[in-house]
Amino acid sequence: MKKEDDGSISFVISDLFDFDYWYENENDDQINKAIKYVNNNAYRQQKASKLEPYILYVPVKFTPEEVREILYK
């Protein structure tokens, strides 16, 4: 995290996009079942070397006004 001279704050979120298997639960609702299906499909593709893990970099910058709003709410 870096504070700029103008009062803004910037940082980078980085995440290794690498899927783990998510076990289904009989109590899962339809939305959770769908999310787990998509995740587990990606997991299977990754295991079959059809999908390679990669890193996501998300730069974030808050203006001085946004920083004041967040801190003094």
Nearest alpha-carbon partner for 61 in 18, 26, 12, 6: 12
pTM score, two decimals?
0.57
58 within 8 A of 13, measured Cβ to Cβ: yes
Token pair for 58: 């998300």
2-61 pLDDT, tens digit each: 999 999 999 999 988 889 999 999 999 999 999 999 999 999 999 999 988 788 899 999
